[in-house]
Structure 1
Amino acid sequence: MKLSRFGQKFAGESGIVELMDDLGTALNENPDMIFMGGGNPGRLQQVEAIFQQRLDDIMDDPRQRHSLFGIYQSPQGDKEFREQVASFLNKQFGWSLTGNNIAISNGSQAAFFVLYNMFAGDMGNGESNAIHLPLAPEYLGYADVGLSDNFFTATRPSIELLDDRLFKYGVDFSQLDLGNHTGAMCVSRPTNPTGNVLTDDEISHLDQIAREKDVPFIIDGAYGLPFPGIIFTEAKPHWNDNTILVLSLSKLGLPGARTGIIVANEDIIQAYTNANTIVSLACGTLGPALAKELFKTGEIVSLTRDYVTPFYQQRAQQTAQWLREKLGDVPFHIHKPEGAIFLWLWFEGLPITSQELYQRLKKRGVLIVPGHNFFVGMDDDWAHKHECIRVSYAQDAAIVKRGVEIIAEEVAAAYEDR
């Protein structure tokens, strides 16, 4: 089979392909596999009950049922839903949005494919622009979405060691240089994989730099503000005319509905909509239909505040404590858990690579994600990249605890084998 350059790139192997393939294959081969690698949200019965009731209401109404299954939506997304999202954001934060500032995508991954390639790659004048990631490590799902080579650049973070086996990455503004070939700058907040929440001051400074360079500032809020609100520290949502805020319904408990929400100025929304028409033709209807009333009534605020945030905060604290107990004297650090649904572990001086540790754990029935995949845009040989892993704590507590025990056993064995 002879593939084009596009085919070779997108049909080949990558970190995100390996991750998603493992999720499917491992479940078929070992139903007892402990999944601490993927981004599936935890199951919250109260939240599921809300969506179940909403789905029942839709199915009982012939008009809504037909709208859900029987017609195409606009490539920009359901108009009523977009207006409700805009109204909700205006009421909560004093923003000046209309439905024309909102677009819906079939998952935020699809949104980033379009957005990134709108601003980076071949610029048609013999030059290429890149997406800059000012705080590595970043989401591995970004790594392979570019249609051209050298699609990302990144700034190595500063590292602050904290008490209680914790550490924290920070934006190293002394090293941050967008250069003349940056098409956009992007951060996730909270950061996937580390759970780092950039401070309001860091966000403000990055916004200022983006404006000075006249490039969009993209914020991936899939885990963050204002929903699903998986943030355990003080932070304010950020948006302005130069910001593209990408949100998602997945971590509310609807990953299968594949619903991303883009908030941007009208020119960017129109450009995105045109591209999305070619790529997707239309937007899915399930996510907006299930969430529409949540935005209309404002119930999405209490849903996140009362159920989603407390669940993950408690689980993060518990899992971090299990790790401290089980890892003992192993030279390890946990990135300060400020949000998202993962813990980021740094095993200082790890005698094997994180990829080898991943393979050993997989044989033991535990799936994690090796850390080197997340240093998108960094081509140097920084040893730190191979000493880190990402673990999810979203599954049942007993399962997570058993996974922690196995991780601790394998890590201890690796140090003992030196």
Structure 2
Amino acid sequence: MKLSAFGKKFTRHSGILSLMDDLGNAMANDSDMIMMGGGNPAHIPEVETAFKERLQRILDSQCEFTRLIGTYDPPQGEKGFISELARFLNRHYGWGISERNIALTNGSQAAFFMIFNMFAGHYDNHQCKRIQLPLAPEYIGYADSGVKDDFFIANKPDIEHIDSHIFKYHVDFNHLTIDESTGALCVSRPTNPTGNVLTDHEIEHLDALAARHDIPLIIDNAYGAPFPSLIFTEARLNWNENTILCLSLSKLGLPATRTGIVIASEQIINALSGMNAIMNLAPNSFGSLLALDMVRDDSIRPLCQNVIRPYYEEKAKFAIHCLKRHMTGIPWRIHKPEGSMFLWLWFKDLPVSSLALYEALKARGVLVVSGHYFFPGITDGWQHKYECLRITFTQDSTSVDKGISIIAKEVRKLYGM
């Protein structure tokens, strides 16, 4: 059977496929694998109780139950949730948006596939444009989302060394070049994989550059405010007509509902709605209806700020404590943990590639993610790409401690210590 160019591209090996296969196989086999690779949110009892209670209210209402399972939504998404979310954002941020500025998608991955290919690729004038990542490393799921190859331009970061074990990436504006080949700028904040939160100044600078070149600034806010609010530092959330802001219900605790949220100009929302209709008929209702009451009565805010964020912040502190205890003598560093649910480990001058380390750890019963997957658009042999790992700390403390202990033993062996 012969495949088209499209078929070949989307059936070949990819980092996101490897990640989700590892996650799915480990879960399906009920193995003893320590899962420090995937981005599945933790199962927080208070959060699950809140959604169970909401689900029960839906089941007790014939009207809402029918909306949940028996009615197509419009291609833009569930209208009640969109309306309440617009009111919520205007209450708390004063943006002055309407329902016409919001669309839902079947998960953020689907949203980025549509948005990226809307602004990058071949134009009518035969010009070919790409998505520019002002700071790599960036999210593993972006890398293979373009219909064509050579889809990204990326910039290496400016690295600030804070102390002997902590560093932080910054956008290197001195080497950030935007020209006619750039279709859009895209950043995640907090950044997956590093937990980096771009400063307000960096966001303002990128916004000004995007406006000057008449291209959108896409901000992936899957871990940010207003939900799940996994930001451990100060950061303002801004929006304007030139910004495409992407939210998600996954890290709130609803990954299986696949609910992405896009806030953008009416023109872009109309385009996304049309693409939804062609690709899916309509996005599903499950996540938006589960979260509807929380958005309407603002209870989503204390749930995030008083339960979800402190939970992950304590998890991060514990994982860092384990690193300090187990990594003595190893040349290890981590990116300053400012948000999300990951730690980004950097082993300078690692004797093998991060992919080889990943394979060795997998054989030892610990799943992590090789750092080299997170640099789409960096095409040279920059050694830093092969010295990093992404680990997640959402599992129980015993598993996290054991997993970091095994990582330390394997790395110590590689350095000949």
- Shift in Å at residue 318 of structure 1? 1.2
Task: Report 1:304-323 matches (<5 A).
Answer: 304-323=304-323
Task: Report 1:316-395 matches (<5 A).
Answer: 316-395=316-395
Give the SS at the match of 1:160.
strand
Distance 1:377 1:336 in 2: 24
Task: Specify the alignment match of 2:207 in structure 1.
Answer: 207
- Shift in Å at residue 182 of structure 1? 0.6
Task: Specify the alignment match of 1:12 in structure 2.
Answer: 12
Task: Specify the alignment match of 1:36 in structure 2.
Answer: 36
RMSD: 0.9
Task: Specify the alignment match of 1:86 in structure 2.
Answer: 86
Give the SS at the match of 1:315.
helix
Task: Specify the alignment match of 1:256 in structure 2.
Answer: 256
Distance 1:34 1:179 in 2: 45
Task: Specify the alignment match of 2:46 in structure 1.
Answer: 46
Note if 1:415 corresponds to 2:392: no
- Shift in Å at residue 26 of structure 1? 2.8
Counterpart amino acid of residue 159 in structure 1: I
Give the SS at the match of 1:322.
helix
| Residues 186 and 217, structure 1, Cα contact 8 Å, conserved in 2 | yes
Task: Report 1:224-235 matches (<5 A).
Answer: 224-235=224-235
Q: Deviations over 1:342-381 (max 9, x none)?
A: 0000000000100000000000110000000001111011
Distance 1:285 1:205 in 2: 37
Between stretches 334-343 and 161-170, larger displacement belongs to 161-170
Rate the CA distance shift 1:362–1:2 in 2: closer, same or farther, 3 A.
Answer: same
Task: Specify the alignment match of 2:160 in structure 1.
Answer: 160
Give the SS at the match of 1:42.
coil
- Shift in Å at residue 306 of structure 1? 0.7
Counterpart amino acid of residue 280 in structure 1: N
Distance 1:340 1:268 in 2: 27
Distance 1:178 1:406 in 2: 43
Distance 2:330 2:30 in 1: 29
Give the SS at the match of 1:167.
strand
Give percent identity, aligned residues only.
52
Distance 1:184 1:370 in 2: 27
Task: Specify the alignment match of 2:191 in structure 1.
Answer: 191
TM-score relative to the length of structure 2? 0.99
Counterpart amino acid of residue 252 in structure 1: L
Distance 1:166 1:390 in 2: 15
Counterpart amino acid of residue 377 in structure 1: G
Task: Specify the alignment match of 1:60 in structure 2.
Answer: 60
Distance 2:316 2:124 in 1: 46
- Shift in Å at residue 163 of structure 1? 1.8
Give the SS at the match of 2:156.
coil
- Shift in Å at residue 28 of structure 1? 3.6
Counterpart amino acid of residue 6 in structure 2: F
| Residues 122 and 148, structure 1, Cα contact 8 Å, conserved in 2 | no
- Shift in Å at residue 251 of structure 1? 0.3
Give the SS at the match of 1:75.
coil
Distance 2:112 2:252 in 1: 19
Distance 1:95 1:294 in 2: 20
Note if 1:236 corresponds to 2:247: no
Q: Deviations over 1:203-252 (max 9, x none)?
A: 00000000001000000000011111000000011210100000000001
Q: Which runs of structure 1 show a deviation greater than 2 angstroms over 4 or more consecutive aligned residues?
A: 26-30
Rate the CA distance shift 1:30–1:349 in 2: closer, same or farther, 3 A.
Answer: farther
Distance 1:363 1:184 in 2: 40
Q: Deviations over 1:95-130 (max 9, x none)?
A: 111111000000000000000000001113222100
Note if 1:121 corresponds to 2:121: yes
Task: Specify the alignment match of 1:400 in structure 2.
Answer: 400
Counterpart amino acid of residue 153 in structure 1: I
Q: Deviations over 1:56-113 (max 9, x none)?
A: 0000111111110011111100111101111000000111111110000000000000
List runs of 5+ in structure 2 lacking aligned partners.
none
Distance 2:275 2:383 in 1: 39
- Shift in Å at residue 189 of structure 1? 0.2
| Residues 106 and 260, structure 1, Cα contact 8 Å, conserved in 2 | yes
Counterpart amino acid of residue 403 in structure 1: G
TM-score relative to the length of structure 1? 0.99
List runs of 5+ in structure 1 lacking aligned partners.
none
Distance 2:155 2:358 in 1: 26
